[in-house]
Amino acid sequence: MNNPKTPNPARKLRDDALAIWRAGVDAVDSQRLVEKNLRVEGDRLIFGDEALAIPLDQIGRIVVVGGGKAGAGMARGVETALGPEWLEKKQVTGWVNVPEGCVETLSHIWLHGARPAGVNEPTAAGVFGTREIIQLVQSLGPNDLCLCLISGGGSALLPAPQEPVTLEDKLTVTRLLSESGATIEELNTVRKQLSRIKGGGLLRACGSGRMVSLILSDVLGDPLDLIASGPTVPQTSDYREVLAILDRYDARENGISANVYELLRRKRWVENEPIACEVTNLVIGNNATAVDAAGTKSLELGYRYAMVSAPRSEGQAEEVGRHLAEMALSMRDQPGGRPDCLISGGEPVVSLIESSRRGLGGRNQQLVLAAMKALWDDGAERIAILSGGTDGEDGPTDAAGAVFDVETLRRAHESGIDLEDYLERNDAYSFFELMDGLIKTGPTHTNVCDLRVVLADQKKAK
């Protein structure tokens, strides 16, 4: 048993991994990012690093709309940046769709609970809120400014199915693609073609002469047309791409409604509506922002770090987990001045087992469990591995992700638990709940994909 006055090296690695991960999440705090990228200077409204400056006397009123997991913090940031004087002078009002757990009362912007916490799917409440947003932007005049707040999760929080497609039709499509391991790029390409608001639909509906969209990116590489399915970005895909994706995942054989194919058939003959509103899309934070800040924190804690933010979707979570385990072993066993901290960002996918056998978990928990399996025989001495979603939600769970170290692995060995069974059944949440390895933060009001930390103590115990 450890002397309570003697630091536990394993616990220190775990605590340091959590501190590094938390620093990355804090760096993409949505309110602070908005305040950094929106300010009033004299008689001008400034966006970004002087990327855009609009004379305030040229703006009639300001309407704020949007949706996403970071929506509440972003809306707070707008109200703080404009301040009471300009909020009143410009008759600021707005509507932003957010998860129910993020709803709060603001002075001028209405936050609408568009789905339950932990249920990342479109709902009837989301459809209602999206209709309100569309009506609001349609009411604007040419001298008004539409300010959009877009963040990850916006695809599910801003549902507006195009007829004849129904909400249930869209849910069926989304579930099929998600459970089949489709990438976020494939998912959002399909969503755009089935929606009134995505794929530039919000921009086409807007009656103002100018729109500015502040975007917190949850898609690797920051493709503007895919973040929240691009409501303020002109359509870049067409019906043929959607048909190819649906065929790739055998949609016709898996119960996809004929309404979906009817809408795509109509789109074959319809050109996109013209866009009269001038738009500026600004990415104010992304996965690289979080990775950079995590690296800075690791230096403060005395580590030598290497870091990478994946430029695109990474494939299966289990493969990423095994790779991180290999990197941990390499850092620990072949030091020679090499880094002892690996920070990475990305977003893998999980192929789900049939629902009758499926447990509870998310891609980060599945990734960490796969890494733990890879280190099962080694024992993970002097190693800690963590993976968490920056939004505080990992799949349909109340955990952001999971972490393990040598003590976690030792407890699992001693318990005789069948790790392979939990991994196969996508039941990583239940496993880490038993092993005290879950990371629970609640909503973080941000969302820039996932952040992972691998630490290796290169000094062998004497």
- Write out pLDDT tens, residues 207-252: 999 999 999 999 899 999 999 999 999 888 888 999 999 999 999 8
Report the distance separating Cα 345 and Cα 177, nearest Å.
23
Measure the CA dihedral 352/354/357/362, to 10°.
Answer: 20
Strand order across the 450-456 sheet = 305-309, 341-346, 450-456, 383-389, 401-405, 438-439
Question: Where does the pLDDT of residue 269 fall: very low under 50, low under 70, confident under 90, or very high at 90 and above?
Answer: low
Q: Give residue 2's pLDDT band: very low, low, confident or very high (50, 70, 90).
A: very low
* Edge-first strand listing for the sheet containing 52-55: 38-41, 44-47, 52-55
Does residue 85 register a pLDDT over 80? yes
Average pLDDT, the chain: 93
Q: What is the pLDDT of residues 191-211, one digit of tens each?
A: 999 999 999 999 999 999 999
User: What is the pLDDT at residue 272?
Assistant: 65
Query: For 111, which DSSP code?
Result: E
| Phi and psi torsions of 400, nearest 5° | -80, -25
For the segment 357-391, what is each residue's pLDDT rounded down to a tens digit?
999 999 999 999 999 999 999 999 999 999 999 99
As a whole number, mean pLDDT of residues 406-419 equals: 96
With residue 114 as reference, give the H or E element that holds it: strand 109-115
Query: CB-side exposure of 396: number of CA atoms within 13 Å?
Result: 14
C-alpha 284/C-alpha 281 separation (Å) is: 10
> What pLDDT is recorded for position 320?
97
- For residue 111, the model assigns a pLDDT of 98
Q: What is the rounded distance in angstroms from the CA atom of residue 354 to the CA atom of residue 90?
A: 53
Instruction: Identify whether the C-beta of residue 10 lies closer than 8 Å to the C-beta of residue 405.
Output: yes
What tokens does 4 get?
A: 């309570």
DSSP 284-305: EE-HHHHHHHHHHHHHHTT--E
Across 445-453, average pLDDT: 96
CA distance readout (Å), 94 to 101, 135, 245, 284, 385: 19, 11, 36, 20, 42
Count Cα atoms within 13 angstroms, Cβ side, for 115. 21
pLDDT tens by residue, 156-196: 999 999 999 999 999 999 999 988 888 888 988 999 999 99
- For the chain, percent of residues with pLDDT exceeding 90: 83
Q: Which residues contact 258 (CB under 8 A, 6 or more apart)?
A: none
CA distance 159 to 167: 8
Dihedral (CA of 340, 341, 344, 350) sign: positive
- Identify the band that residue 1 occupies on the pLDDT scale cut at 50, 70 and 90: very low
Token representation of residue 35: 């305040």
Buried residues in 31-41 as b, exposed as e (16+ CB within 10 A):
bbbbbebbeee
Query: Across residues 57-72, what is the average pLDDT?
Result: 97
The C-alpha atoms of residue 292 and residue 28 are separated, in whole angstroms, by 11
d(C-alpha 151, C-alpha 67), whole Å? 7
Q: Is the pLDDT of residue 461 over 70?
A: no
Burial status of residue 420 (CB atoms within 10 A of its CB: 0-12, 13-18, 19 or more) = exposed
Residue 23, token pair as written in the block? 């620093």
Residue 276 or 430, more confident: 430
pTM of the predicted model, to two decimals? 0.90
- Which residues are within 8 A (CB) of 255 and not within 5 positions of it... i.e. 6 or more apart? 172, 176
Q: Which two tokens stand for residue 346?
A: 């990305």
**Tens of pLDDT, residues 311-330:** 887 889 999 999 999 999 99
Is omega for the bond preceding 164 within 30 degrees of 0, making it cis?
A: yes
Span 114-133, average pLDDT: 93
Could you give the percent of the chain with pLDDT greater than 70? Answer: 97
Residue 271 has pLDDT above 70, yes or no: no
For range 432-451, the mean pLDDT: 96
